[in-house]
Amino acid sequence: MGPRPRVAYPESVGKKSFIAFIALFASGVGTAAAEESAYAGVTPGSETSENLPPKADEIPEGALMLTWPGFMMVEGGSSFFIQTSKPVKFGTKKSEGRLELILHHTRVHLKNNFLPLETQFFDTPVIRATVQRKGKKDLVMVFEMREDATPSITQKIGKDGFNYVFVKFSP
């Protein structure tokens, strides 16, 4: 074996201090802050504003924006929810294997809200739900159905100040 390479340390930092810094950095102390600030998603009905949608402060005042689509299993079935910045007019359209929830005069706040909600492994009649543009002014949440089902649809303003449209399917 040849000679070991020499490591240069800044003169203002001793060898032991430099090694301690490297050990702390490598141990993950720096990742604690990232874990504490991890975003857990939106929680409908939350009494606090801890789970606001990402970049909520960037929503233009008065704009009707879809800020978060979500899915959750609930007692008595499954529920999809759409969080919007204010109440929304909506309609439905049903065809074979598909249900559409049309959100009138609504825009998407962030591009990741177009990602599908994959629910094929849950006990729900919906395989997947996806938000899509419909014309210039509307959005549609498309539910790809594994079986025919008619949901109940409700809308209410949450304690966090956002509006929620719930699409609930019974088992």
Name which of 128, 76, 70 is nearest 99 in CA terms.
128
Question: 1 pLDDT band (50/70/90 cuts)?
Answer: low
Of 51-55, 70-74, 119-123, 128-132, least confident by mean pLDDT is: 51-55
pLDDT of residue 6: 56
Q: Which residue has the higher pLDDT, 109 or 151?
A: 151
**Sign of torsion over alpha carbons 79, 85, 86, 87:** negative
At residue 107, does pLDDT exceed 80? yes
Question: 32 pLDDT band (50/70/90 cuts)?
Answer: very low
Question: 57 pLDDT band (50/70/90 cuts)?
Answer: confident
**What's the distance, CA 167 to chain centroid?**
16
Question: 128 pLDDT band (50/70/90 cuts)?
Answer: very high
pLDDT of residue 16: 53
pLDDT of residue 48: 58
Structural domains of the chain sorted by starting position, each given as residue range(s) with its CATH number in brackets: 1-171 (2.60.40.3500)
Q: Provide, rounded to the nearest whole percent, the portion of the chain with pLDDT above 70.
A: 69
CA angle (154 as vertex; 150, 159 as ends), nearest 5 = 150
pLDDT of residue 27: 46
DSSP 23-83: HHHHHTTTHHHHHHT------TT-SSSTTPPTTGGGSPTT--EEEEEEEEEETTEEEEEEE
Name which of 33, 64, 31, 45 is nearest 157 in CA terms.
45
Residue 113 CB neighbour total at 10 angstroms: 18
Q: What is the CA radius of gyration of the chain?
A: 24
